[in-house]
A and B are shown apart, each in its own frame.
Chain A
Amino acid sequence: MLKIRIIPCLDVKNGKVVKGTKFVNLKYAGDPVKQAQIYDKQGADELCFLDITASSDKRNILYNVVKKTAQKCFMPLTVGGGVRSIQDIRKLLLCGADKVSINTAAIKNPELIKKSSNKFGNQCIVVAIDAKQIKKNKWQIYTHGGRKKTGIDAIEWAKKMENLGAGEILLTSMDKDGTKSGFDLELTKKISKSISIPVVASGGVGNIQHLIDGIKIGKASAVLAASIFHYGKYTVGQVKNKMKQKGILVRI
């Protein structure tokens, strides 16, 4: 059977990992390629790079990071942040990315999802959704790294993206992100049950139980976390062993 995926995420700015730089743990000196190799050795099922570089003229740095990582880590890579066009996607794929995550551009231009999935296959197009709860059972999506409100309903949007050809939804709860209090399980479950493409739960992981809940309660196909891995609180292997004990199908 298909295993649940554990995905460490690296936030990259100007070619450096940004989370953790304020911390003293020098093992993580901020080189994304080195950090990717650590996760590779620990048995991560996929890696995710999110580029938060603001200026587009520094984009080439990201391409180099992806290229170097793909030369050393023979594992699946998803890359997101600032992806706007078919050309951007092609460049990332040629650098060694397997999947490309699109957020703001999907809202500005939903046709991009259709065109790119026709070109590169659905499996390669991930739509990232940043959602915020506005009232009970109601979430809306935000763009520009959570700064811009769109008024679009998150569940409807996920369905629309599936119809246009997205192969996966990377779902981040803005209410939970950075809180270490666990995923928004209601939101995750609602979206997982509304669509037939995989959902990656993201935002809020502080311990292993949160990851387990994301799968068991949130019904996600994969769980993504940054800080619990980055700060060395757990290795991917420790997480997987614990999840296995709790009856979750993981690749050990």
Chain B
Amino acid sequence: MKIALIDYGSGNLQSAYKALELAGSYKKSKIFLTSKSKDLLKIDKIVLPGVGTFADCMKGLKSLPGMIDTLNEIVLQKKKPFLGICVGMQLLASEGKEKGNHKGLGWIAGKVIKIKKNKKKKVPHMGWNTVKVISKHPILKKKKFESYFVHSYNFICRDKKNILATCDYQQNITAIIGKENIIGTQFHPEKSQKVGLEILKNFICWTY
């Protein structure tokens, strides 16, 4: 099993790499850090990490020659399992509204908008929150679990079917999205201790 972790300068790259390596160790999976689009042609699964602003991450991804076209081909046509983490999930949206309007990959229809804050509802939504699974998925074995979130923007799916899990922060926060071979987590599995490693392991074991 070969898993590509896309290196486009995102902050959580190393943590994601180490967590995937540990989560995949018993399956003898190999994690490839890559920024070359042609590398993706030989792999089984893709993980897109993401820390930073929507625009900055999108710019980073675009700066890799042929990367977006290759991702479109491999994920949308060849249906290889794909996992996006945090901003790596938000980039799947049609549009991101962080510091201006920015086009996303458009794989899951929706937009990413700022969470409204006040003195009692602090933003960033930062810390451990309970994720409630509302739609069954092979990589989600538990109905409820605690995960680490750190973000100020929320993914609003146009089709509610794409929301697999939510959490409560005086409003509904989209915690996990999914569509066919694509899955995305707003929280950081690579920072969610045992629970997070479990999800990564399930992703590695997932056959779509």
Contact = CB atoms under 8 A, between A and B. Distances in A.
A209 to B, nearest CB: 22
A198 B127 CA distance: 10
Contacts of B197: 74
A221 B151 contact: no
4 closest A-B pairs (Cβ-Cβ)? A93-B11, A123-B124, A196-B117, A251-B128
A167 B15 contact: no
Contacts of A67: 14
Interface string B113-127: 000011101111111
Nearest to B169: A2
Interface of A: 1-5, 40, 45-46, 67, 70-71, 74-76, 90, 93-99, 118-124, 167-168, 192-199, 221-222, 251
A45 B169 contact: no
Given A1-B169, A197-B123, A221-B122, 8 more contacts: A3-B129, A67-B14, A95-B14, A96-B15, A98-B11, A118-B53, A123-B152, A199-B122
Nearest to A66: B14
A69 B191 CA distance: 12
B168 interface: yes
Contacts of A2: 125-129, 149, 169
A28 to B, nearest CB: 22
A98 B52 contact: no
A243 B163 CA distance: 33
Contact of B119 (A167, A195, A222, A251): A195
Contacts of A122: 124, 152
B12, B15, B197 interface centre (most CB from chain A within 10 Å): B15
B14 A96 contact: yes
B148 A76 contact: yes
A152 B53 CA distance: 30
Given A67-B14, A74-B19, A121-B52, A196 B122 contact: yes
12 contacts: A1-B129, A2-B128, A2-B169, A70-B18, A71-B14, A74-B197, A119-B56, A120-B52, A120-B56, A197-B117, A197-B122, A221-B122
Nearest to B50: A121
B127 A3 contact: yes
Interface residues on B, range: 35 or more
A196 B119 contact: yes
Given A45-B127, A121-B53, A123-B124, A75 B13 contact: no
Given A70-B15, A93-B51, A75 B191 contact: yes
Interface of B: 11-15, 18-19, 22, 51-53, 56, 87, 98-99, 117-119, 121-130, 146, 148-152, 168-169, 188, 190-193, 196-197
Contact of B193 (A74, A98, A119): A74
Contacts of A76: 148, 150, 188, 191
A168 B188 CA distance: 18
Nearest to B118: A196
Nearest to A93: B11
Contact of B146 (A3, A168, A198, A222): A3
B193 A123 contact: no
A113 to B, nearest CB: 14
Given A76-B150, A196-B118, A120 B11 contact: yes
Contacts of B169: 1-2
Contacts of A4: 127
A31 B13 CA distance: 25
Given A3-B127, A67-B14, A122-B124, A167 B53 contact: no
A123 B126 contact: yes
Nearest to A95: B14
A251 B146 contact: yes
A40 B119 contact: no
A46 B18 CA distance: 18
Contacts of B14: 67, 70-71, 94-96
A51 B13 CA distance: 23
B152 A75 contact: no
A71 B13 CA distance: 11
Nearest to B191: A76
